[in-house]
Amino acid sequence: LNTNPTFMNHDLKHVLDDQLFGYWGQNYLLYLSENCDFENSSQFGRLIISFLEVDLVLLSSNFANQSFDSKFEFLLNLTNYPGVPIEEESTSRDFVDFWSQLAETFVMDDDRISSILKNDTNLLSRLKTKSLEFFTKIAEIYWSKIHIPEIESDLDSYMDEFKIFRRDVSDLYEAIYPITKSSLLKDLVNNLSVSISSNSPRDLEASLFLISSLSDTLTENSVDEETLNYIKKVFDSNILDYVTTTTYNTTNNSAIRKFNMLSYTTIRFLSSVNFIYKLQIGLPYLQSVLDFLFNSMIGSTSYQLIASKTIAKICDESRSNLISFLPNFKNIITAMIDDITVDTLIRQRIINSY
């Protein structure tokens, strides 16, 4: 299938389709899941991907066909194969690029999809409804999959691969966003608020990571009012106080990496929404943002590079809104000059920002 996808005729495709998504395929997936057979589940997933990616336009049009609902449900179950991504299961990693391609096809080839459905208004309506439901479920699966593992010491052995996986999930969310629109961001912000109130830092980090990924694509000219209000809700959730308290209250080794990742992701978020500091809606948060960033630099060498870059970015692009912060800024610079743990390059970057 990978080397010559045209070698199968229509009848052979139909037979293989029945096998993969019918009784045999359902039972085989159940067997693989019950036996935690990670190797064969990955091979099974790659076979299905090779079979389906031959015609993504046709597959996209099948959201309008009720008889295909069970097939899409099967694909959701396969994507959500149990286990820790990378370390145990690789099925979700194999599928992440496939779902990105399908989402992009759904958006870019909408005219061809409409033509296949003969512009039938009822079918097009179902297509929109079912695709929204499906890609929302895909997003939920990958939100869970990118969580920092419970046994965090194991992450050291596959950290680079895990970072690549999370980056690919970011790309998937960007591909899905034109289909789900603001509901995707709304769900992430709601998850973030619940995570803070329930003291669930791993959930919080996953939500904030993906919010940052979506925000990276926005500017002050392209962002709409609804999206701005969702970002405002993130700041209004007292996230900076929560992250600071969580980080400094952590003393046992098993929690250190988790909360370090949370701090890093928070700084990344503050950088990704740089456009909001230029707007009136973002001005009330500037002081707390700068305080958090400076404290991150002084409190740990781990964040000096990303925090200093974020500070420089804010100062460069929102300079006119920072005049009232100059006295405090000067005091902080003095403290940083006296702090021997601050790298010379980092210190110079902050001084230039002033």
- The whole-angstrom separation of Cα 208 and Cα 189 is 8
- In this predicted structure, which of 166-170, 177-181, 347-351 has the lowest mean pLDDT? 347-351
Task: Decide which of 189 and 5 is more confident.
Answer: 189
Q: Does the pLDDT of residue 6 top 70, yes or no? A: no
Q: Which range is least confidently modeled, 17-21, 42-46, 125-129, 298-302?
A: 298-302
Q: What single DSSP character describes residue 85? A: B
With 50 as the cut, is the pLDDT of residue 255 above it? Answer: no
3-state secondary structure of 224: coil
**pLDDT score at 256:** 43
pLDDT digits 0-9 by tens, 47-94: 999 999 989 999 999 999 999 999 999 999 999 999 999 989 999 999
The string of pLDDT tens digits covering residues 117-128 is 999 999 999 999
What whole-number distance in Å separates Cα of residue 260 and Cα of residue 268?
A: 12
Task: Write out the DSSP string of 324-344.
Answer: GGHHHHHHHHHHHHH-TTS-H
- Three-state secondary structure call for residue 89: strand
Query: Three-state SS for 113?
Result: helix
Classify residue 225 as exposed, middle or buried by CB count within 10 Å of its CB (0-12, 13-18, 19+).
exposed
- Residue 305 reports pLDDT greater than 70: yes
> Which pLDDT band holds residue 252 (cuts at 50, 70, 90)?
very low
Inter-residue contact 78 to 29 (CB < 8 Å)? yes
Residue 166 CB-density burial (10 A; 0-12 exposed, 13-18 middle, 19+ buried): buried
Residue 279 has pLDDT above 60, yes or no: yes
Q: What is the pLDDT of residues 126-154, one digit of tens each?
A: 999 999 999 999 999 999 999 987 766 67
Name the token pair of 97: 């690029």
Tell me the pTM: 0.89
pLDDT at residue 348, as a whole number: 75
Report the distance separating Cα 310 and Cα 353, nearest Å.
11
